[in-house]
Structure formats: structure tokens, C-alpha cells
Amino acid sequence: MTQAPARHPSGRRQHDREIITLALPAFGALVAEPLFLMADTAIVGHLGTAQLAGLGIASALLMTAVSVFVFLAYATTAAVARRVGAGDLRAAIRQGMDGIWLALLLGAAVVAAALPTAPHLVDLFGASDAATPYAITYLRISVLGIPAMLIVLAATGVLRGLQDTRTPLYVAIAGFVANGALNVGLVYGADLGIAGSAWGTVIAQCGMAAVYLMVVLRGAHKHGASLRPDAAGIRASAQAGVPLLVRTLSLRAVLMIATAVAARLGDADIAAHQIILSLWNLLAFALDAIAIAGQAIIGRYLGAGDSRGAREACRRMVEWGIAVGVVLGVVVLLARPAFLPLFTGDPAVMDVALPALIIVALSQPISGIVFVLDGVLMGAGDGPYLAWAMLLTLAVFTPAALLVPVLGGGLTALWATMTLMMIVRMLTLWLRTRSGRWIVTGATR
């Protein structure tokens, strides 16, 4: 990062307060999201193995769709935060409405495409004859909630850009509670089976979207922002999202390649890989919360024309990322013996997973830097660079990962290549932040 004037303790305390105020509620909201799937899994699991298998296939497709469109939250956060920093709340909310309209259009397109192709999508996963009808049923009903899910993503970005991460936390908690109650009532009370679980989730998602829309509409009315769809604004939101979409797809490709390689290593390796990957994703929530704070804070500083504040906030958030990464790494090292028995009693799986977990633990400080700098550059609206950097990372990771089984490496070697992937990301992001080219001030980039 470029040289900045010496920092004062009061400035550090201010950054710390901002980071904590935004990151803690963001972490809670992030953790609440996968609880939807866990609740569905627990409830449907008691219906039978075929129903649970069908849920697993349909959920994989739905979660892929959500992860692909997560740029709706990221791009909207950065754009809204810039306008907040510039002191133009009316334009900030107007920008947020463009993101919500884009989410609605994309959601409608997904529904139109997925409803008739649901059986073919399920077939791609090679589902058994017993599981297939349940997967198709769950998918066809749940896909009706995709527009609401995408509206939630975009509206979450609006509120984050407005420096509000508490409302998304409250909505996520309420949505989780409603989802659980509806699932139990419809699956067992109304005896709708797996269809009841799907309808319960759709209703909960629509309720969450309705709450978000009420909050945003109230803000629009207060500041006189137009609610009408604006073609130019929607197009600008889509253009800002394309590079982040490329980044996200590249990252998903990394995870898919890693899983495919683990499957080639043997049953014990793929089982251990899935356990470790679930832990890796959980650790990512804590680090991603700081990144979300970074998106909102950096966007606001740059919108206000305060490049010095942006640099100092970036530096402080990196320090936070490293510190949290160290703490998470120590926790993983100490908890390894107690963690694995929660998922498996197979000694072969535990023997494979234990050394790989050491690699995961040691890499957490690196992950802390990566997540923070990723959030900083997103907040700066530096999407094109993030896309190219992730494509480069994918190009380095792919041959390294594919060589693992060829050279006789095991799961520990595979997770070493995952660490290599994170190191490449760290270097590309660090070089960018150090150059200062991401610092573009003003209400728009």
C-alpha cells in the first residue's frame, strides 16, 4: 500500500469501532444463511433417505445459483457506499433501487429457465430413481423463491452501503425462525412432505424480501428517491456486476476442481475433504465479515474524497484480518482432535484429515489478508482487476491440483495447493493495494 502519514491512536480506535460495528452483525447474518439449509436437512432427513438425497441435489443447484448472483450484494454495497460518502443519500438509495430491479429481472429469468428444465438439471447429478422425483419437486417449488433470494442479496447490499449491517442480521434471524416453523408445520402438520419444506422456505424468503423492500422504500420516501426502474441505472449495475461474476465463477471452479481431485484420491480422502471444506467455509464467514465491513467503509471514504482515510482503514483492516486469522488458526490446531469425531468415526478418514487440517490452520492468517483486501477492492469498485486476478489464480491452481494424484500426493498435498491458491490471491491483491491504483475518489468510479 502507498505510504500514508503516521496514524494516531484515536484514528485507530475510530477504525476499530467502525470495523466491529459493521463486522459483528455481518458475521451473524452470514452464519444465519446456511442455517436455512441445515434446518431443511434436519426436517426432511426424518422423512427418509430418498427425500434427503433429493433435497441434497436440489439444494446444490439452488446454492450454486445464489453464489453466482452474490455480486448483487457486492456491487450494490460499493456503489451505495460511495454515494453515502459523497453525502448524496437520495442518489445512494436510487442506486440501490437499480440493483434491486436488476435482481428482480435476473430472478424472473432464472425461474423461466429452471421450471421447464428441472428434470434435466437433476439428471445431471445422476440421481437415483428413488431420489429423482423428490429432487424435481423440491427444485421446482424452491426456484419460485429465487427472485426473493436475489432481492434479499441486492437489498442487503443497499443496507451495507448505508453502513447498516444490523438490519440484515435481524432479518436473517427472523427468516431462520420462520423457515423452521413453516417447515415443521407444512411437512408434518399439513403432511406435505418434501414439498412442504420447499414451500416453507419460499414463504420465508418472500417474507425476508418484503421486509427489506419496506426498509428500502421507507428510505426512498424519506429522501425523495425515485422507485421507477431506470434502464441506464440497471445496465450500470449489471456492468459493475459482470467482473465480480467472473471472479465468483473462477473461485467456484477452484472449489469444484479441488473436490474432483479429492474424489480421485479415494473414499477416505473425499470424505475427509468434505469435512475440511465445511470447516474452511465456516472459517470464511468470520473473515468475510471483516471484508463486508471493508466494502462499506472503503466505499464511503472514497465517495467522500478521503483517500488518506481509505488507506488507513485498509491498513487497519489488514491488521484485523491477520489477527483474526491467527486466532482461527490456533483454534483449529487445538480443536482438531475434538472436531473430527463430530463428523466421522472412521479412523482412516481421521488419519487423512488430521495433517490436512494443520495446513488449513497455518494458512488462516493468509486467508485473513486475502478476504480483507478482496473486500477493500470491492468497496473501491475495482471489479475488473479482481476478475483478472482470480482468473490468474485459477490458471496457477488448476495444473498444481491436477498434479497431486499424478505425483502420488494425498489430501495434505491437495490442501497445500489450496494454500498456494490463497498465496497467489494474496500477492495479486497486495500488489494492487500497494500500487494505490484502486484509490479513485468521488461518488462514482
Give the pLDDT band (50/70/90) at residue 1.
very low
**Coil/strand/helix, residue 10:** helix
Residues 6 or more apart in contact with residue 262 via CB below 8 angstroms: 269, 270, 272, 273, 274, 411, 414
pLDDT, position 34: 67
Do 401 and 424 meet the contact criterion of CB atoms below 8 Å apart? no
Instruction: Compute the average pLDDT of residues 338-362.
Output: 86
- Give the predicted TM-score (pTM) of the model: 0.88
In this predicted structure, the answer to whether residue 7 has a pLDDT above a threshold of 50 is no
The answer, yes or no, to whether residue 8 has pLDDT greater than 50, is no
**Assigned C-alpha cell, 321:** 484480518
Q: Is the pLDDT of residue 191 over 60?
A: yes
Query: Rounded mean pLDDT of 208-217?
Result: 96
Q: What is the mean pLDDT of residues 193-206?
A: 94
Instruction: Give residue 187's pLDDT band: very low, low, confident or very high (50, 70, 90).
Output: very high
Assess whether pLDDT exceeds 60 at residue 5.
no
Does pLDDT of 161 surpass 50? yes
| Backbone CA torsion sign across 253, 258, 260, 261 | positive
397/357 Cα distance (integer angstroms): 19
Q: What is the mean pLDDT of residues 267-280?
A: 84
Tell me the pLDDT of the chain averaged across its residues: 90
For residue 353, the tally of other CB atoms under 10 A from its CB is: 28
